[in-house]
Amino acid sequence: MKHTASVFGWPVRVYWEDTDAGGIVFYANYLKFFERARTEWLRSLGIGQQALRDATGGIFVVTDATLKYHRPARLDDALTVTARLTEAGRASITIVQQALSGNETTPAGDTLIHCEGTLRIGWVDAATLKPARMPQHLLEALK
Amino acid sequence: MKHTASVFGWPVRVYWEDTDAGGIVFYANYLKFFERARTEWLRSLGIGQQALRDATGGIFVVTDATLKYHRPARLDDALTVTARLTEAGRASITIVQQALSGNETTPAGDTLIHCEGTLRIGWVDAATLKPARMPQHLLEALK
Amino acid sequence: MKHTASVFGWPVRVYWEDTDAGGIVFYANYLKFFERARTEWLRSLGIGQQALRDATGGIFVVTDATLKYHRPARLDDALTVTARLTEAGRASITIVQQALSGNETTPAGDTLIHCEGTLRIGWVDAATLKPARMPQHLLEALK
Amino acid sequence: MKHTASVFGWPVRVYWEDTDAGGIVFYANYLKFFERARTEWLRSLGIGQQALRDATGGIFVVTDATLKYHRPARLDDALTVTARLTEAGRASITIVQQALSGNETTPAGDTLIHCEGTLRIGWVDAATLKPARMPQHLLEALK
């Protein structure tokens, strides 16, 4: 897998809290890793979610997730979690994310994928949780 | 939504641990709720996963998840989480699950859906995490 | 250990989400189990925390915790988690809690303790998180 | 609070997963933050826990925790979590940890404390979970 400059990556270390009695990362926890990387991707665009909520009254809420679990990650693994925007509209955005092994490569030099997901995320009013139109400056910052 | 007798349901209460600063259930936590309901569904079929692992050396591992988030659940909500087997083969099974509101119904008397998911789950050797053939008695218990 | 009638107990099953790669319940998760049991103990006294917050603007916040981990709990273990009020004042309450094995007893018939904790819990204004005086009817319901 | 050179610190950002419906970090999650910082402190001493387990068959298990919650942390807060060894014997070690605010200081320039804890941690055989004597090279690396 080759990364172009437009793919954001965030390092995530696997701790005891992330693992389960199977000795591997518990399947729900990739959604935590993905959320951390999305948050840091937004921060890299100048978007702090708490500040954004204070200013606009809106928050992001995931509406759809599709996940493929390719190979288990284990305690102490050093992962890179990516975030790549694939669609952006007034009501929602779509982001593709991967949890990649930071240590291992195949003989051909490829990065190994632990989990990948496609997340659709809506913009809602934080008080009512009803869908809302994304502020123009937010939409522009995303694109 | 009508439940037939073949849909397994398990009560899940929303606690502080399940919520986030948006005041709603954090999106990853539905995967915890689904896993609890699957575990109890298996138990209802006489299948204890720890005992099964001790006896066969195998464990279930989720390989694919598709999730739709319909409406947020909140602190103190009493949910029913369902599990319904839709496919069973030697290498994997597919289960459809819903997190339903136990309190609320629409004017028409329908149950409200918070989240639904389709989970494909493989059977692997616990030591190597390599795919394995599901023991015949397990497959029969599932069907 | 003998239980008197005044000790509240709540069943907690150990799921995959609760365990770590050591094969045992991750140490932070007993605080989740304790919180669930406290919530259900409050509910048994007619106190719903979301309703209470809506009515009074206050929430409980833990200020001190002392935990002893006696013996590990494992996947599929059926625990009973207790809650016993030991002090109640206008600003805070103290609760002693235990995670007990529901299956195992010693030769002498005692229940085995996995974890026990003493929790001091303050009452704060939900908006400012500043300490507040507990409403009289709440204090009376607790005693 | 002044830090001497001997206090290890690890940055921890507060994400949605860490917060609850009170808008603050859920109380159990400081134990996750503390475990991450202990893991990184060990790594800074050349100790990888997975490698250590593979080599010696032993793991660390927390036996006692005492926690004081001083002030809530919130979404997007940038914390520093410290780890400072205060005792080391053949059977257990004691570590004092703090979750400090990385952004805020008092007028006097002090760092604000969100949570502090004292953790006693035993060394056990990973298979039996029975207490064991810490390997000499581990004990020396710690001191």
Contacts of residue A49 in chain B, CB cutoff 8 Å? none
Shortest distance, CA A19 to any CA of chain C (angstroms): 5
d(CA B94, CA B120): 4
Judge whether residue D82 has pLDDT over 50. Answer: yes
In whole angstroms, how far apart are CA C81 and each of A30, B31, B39, B76, D31? 29, 24, 20, 18, 20
Task: Look at D108 and A112; give whichever has higher pLDDT.
Answer: A112
Tens digit of pLDDT for each residue in A59-68?
Answer: 999 999 999 9
- What's the mean pLDDT in B86-110? 84
Q: How confident is the model at residue A109 (pLDDT cuts 50, 70, 90)?
A: low
CB contact under 8 A, A13 and D36: yes
Check residue D3 and give its pLDDT. 45
d(CA C42, CA C50): 11
Judge whether residue C35 has pLDDT over 60. Answer: yes
Minimum Cα–Cα distance from D14: chain A residue: A36
**Percentage of chain B exceeding pLDDT 90:** 88
- Please return the burial class of B98, using the count of CB atoms within 10 Å of its CB with bins 0-12, 13-18 and 19+: buried
Tens digit of pLDDT for each residue in D14-48?
Answer: 999 999 999 999 999 999 999 999 999 999 999 99
CA nearest neighbour of A10 among A27, A45, A35, A46: A35
Q: Check: CB of residue B60 under 8 Å from CB of residue B49.
A: yes
Whether residue A50 lies within 8 A of chain D, CB to CB, comes out as yes
Contacts of residue D22 in chain B, CB cutoff 8 Å? 16
Dihedral angle sign, alpha carbons of residues A45, A50, A54, A56: positive
**Average pLDDT of every residue of chain A:** 92
Tens digit of pLDDT for each residue in B26-53?
Answer: 999 999 999 999 999 999 999 999 999 9
- What's the mean pLDDT in C53-71? 97
Tokens representing residue B50 in the block = 């720890």
- What's the mean pLDDT in C32-42? 98
Check residue B102 and give its pLDDT. 75
Judge whether residue A105 has pLDDT over 90. Answer: no
Name residue, tokens 């951390």: A36
C114-130 as b/e: b if 16+ CB within 10 A: bbbbbbbbbbbebeebe
Whether residue D35 lies within 8 A of chain A, CB to CB, comes out as yes
Q: How confident is the model at residue C3 (pLDDT cuts 50, 70, 90)?
A: very low
- Identity of the amino acid at A86: T
Tens digit of pLDDT for each residue in B61-71?
Answer: 999 999 999 99
A20 is annotated as an active-site residue: yes
Tokens representing residue D10 in the block = 């690890």
Q: How confident is the model at residue B111 (pLDDT cuts 50, 70, 90)?
A: confident
CA B20 to chain centre: 21
Residues 6 or more apart from B73 whose CB is under 8 A from it? B14, B24, B25, B79, B99, B101, B114, B115
Contacts of residue A50 in chain D, CB cutoff 8 Å? 74-76
Check residue C107 and give its pLDDT. 63
Tokens representing residue C47 in the block = 């106190």
Tens digit of pLDDT for each residue in A3-45?
Answer: 445 799 999 999 999 999 999 999 999 999 999 999 999 999 9
Whether residue A17 lies within 8 A of chain D, CB to CB, comes out as yes
Quote the pTM value: 0.94
CB contact under 8 A, B17 and D21: no
Judge whether residue B1 has pLDDT over 50. Answer: no
Shortest distance, CA A26 to any CA of chain C (angstroms): 7
Q: Check: CB of residue A126 under 8 Å from CB of residue A53.
A: yes
Which of the residues of D are catalytic?
20
Check residue A103 and give its pLDDT. 57
For the residues of A93-124, what is the DSSP string, one character each? EEEEEEEEEEEEE-TT-PEEEEEEEEEEEEEE
* DSSP H or E segment with residue D139: helix D136-142
User: Is domain B8-142 given the CATH code 3.40.1160.10 in the classification?
Assistant: no
How large is the ipTM? 0.92
Check residue A102 and give its pLDDT. 74
In whole angstroms, how far apart are CA D52 and each of A126, B17, C25? 46, 32, 20
Shortest distance, CA C136 to any CA of chain B (angstroms): 23
Tokens representing residue B105 in the block = 């119904």
Dihedral angle sign, alpha carbons of residues D11, D15, D18, D19: positive
Q: Sheet harboring B111-125: ordered strands across?
A: A8-13, A78-88, A92-105, A111-125, A58-69, B58-69, B111-125, B92-105, B78-88, B8-13
List of chains touching C (3+ CB pairs within 8 A): A, B, D
- What's the mean pLDDT in B9-18? 97
Check residue A78 and give its pLDDT. 95
HSE at residue A122, side-chain half, CA atoms within 13 A, is: 16
Tens digit of pLDDT for each residue in D105-123?
Answer: 556 667 899 999 999 999 9
Name residue, tokens 């050396």: B57
- Give the number of other CB atoms < 10 A from CB of residue C66: 16
Whether residue A16 lies within 8 A of chain C, CB to CB, comes out as yes
Check residue C109 and give its pLDDT. 65
Shortest distance, CA D33 to any CA of chain A (angstroms): 9
* DSSP H or E segment with residue D82: strand D78-88
Tokens representing residue D140 in the block = 């020396």
User: Is domain D14-142 given the CATH code 3.10.129.10 in the classification?
Assistant: yes
Check residue B105 and give its pLDDT. 55
- Bridge partners of B123, per DSSP, are B60
